[in-house]
Amino acid sequence: MNAPAVSDVHNHALKARAAWISIASNATLIVFKLIVGVISGSIGIISEALHSGSDLVASIIALVSVRAAAKPADPSHRYGHEKVENISGVIEGLLIIVAAVVIVYEAAQKIVHGPHIEHIELGVGVMLVSAGANLLVSRKFLSPAARRTDSAALEADAAHLLTDVYTSAGIATGLVLVRITGWEYFDPILAIAVAMLIVWTGWRLVSRSTRVLLDEALPDDELELIGEKVAEHRGELIIGFHRLRSRKAGSKRLIDLHITVPDDMTVAEAHAVAEHIMADIAELLPNSEALVHVEPRSHDPESD
């Protein structure tokens, strides 16, 4: 089993650059979508402009959060500021859900009062351009940066933009169907279907970020890696270990455990063993911080 591949976890400039690219892309797309949406009268395109508006706000939040998370620990925040990125993920998820509610409302109004769409070809074109641009920014810039830095904020922003790819493609499909059939209700109906997809994405982002804020344990594969690494020290250095606990804050992994050592081991020797195990865990898992508590064999006979 291999350790997670995170090569640039402290590259805050990379995080900021990816967030700025997302901001620029979303701002440009909002302008184009609003102009074409007003010209064509398509609620689908206007709803996509609203969605891109939430994307822009989310990208700004991502930028602010990665900068805040990069601040070192201080007297008021002894464990650092990394959880700001997870808070950002919750806010982004809620923004997505709010955008979906607005889309459903506008689409329902169009269904009740009757839609009227013009310049369909222009609308299809701007939706395809939007899908392509968001796919490029999400896959080429945000997702790689999120993987390299293990950034929760950039991961949320990438997922946010990827949702835009699907929704833009869905709106384009609705406009094509309107052109083929002449039935203009395809546009608001597909806008509602798109909104349902947006809600699902928003819920996933909120759920994922909330689990970290509630100190959910690290994934089982990472805990297994830690257990295997500590178990390598059995015999000469430690008798066993227990009470392995873990959590995550932003990209930082926090681990603590108890090791059992022979009664005749000196304090200095036990301290050296604990330091050695902490260094091994730090090397095994990127951006991790371990705390090892030492117990003599006679004090705690239970161990893994």
Give residue-wise pLDDT tens across range 16-47: 888 888 888 888 888 888 888 788 777 667 77
pLDDT at 302: 56
Residue in the structure block whose two tokens are 């200095």:
268
**How would DSSP label each residue in 202-238?**
HHHHHHHHHHHHTTPPPPHHHHHHHHHHHHTTBTTTB
Q: Which long-range contacts (CB under 8 A, 24 or more apart) does 69-74 make?
A: 69/153, 69/250, 69/251, 70/12, 70/15
Rounded Cα gap, residues 293 and 289, in angstroms: 13
pLDDT at 303: 45
Low-confidence ranges of the chain (pLDDT < 50): 5, 7, 303-304
pLDDT at 304: 46
* HSE-up of residue 126 (Cα within 13 Å, Cβ side): 25
pLDDT at 256: 93
Residue in the structure block whose two tokens are 């030492």:
294
* CB-based contact 211:232 (threshold 8 Å): no
pLDDT at 70: 76
Distances in Å between the alpha carbon of 88 and those of 85, 115, 146, 150, 192? Answer: 5, 37, 14, 14, 26
Q: Is the dihedral of CA 59, 72, 216, 145 positive or negative?
A: positive
**Residue 9, amino acid:** V
| pLDDT tens track for 46-99 | 777 776 777 788 788 888 887 887 787 778 877 777 788 788 878 878 877 887
Q: What is the distance, to the nearest Å, from the Cα of residue 8 to the centroid of all Cα atoms in its chain?
A: 16
Burial of 253 (0-12, 13-18, 19+ CB in 10 A): buried
* CB-based contact 117:123 (threshold 8 Å): yes
Rounded Cα gap, residues 19 and 123, in angstroms: 27
pLDDT at 271: 92
Smallest CA-to-CA distance from 49 within 31, 22, 71, 66 is with: 31
∠ CA 120-102-49, rounded to 5°: 40
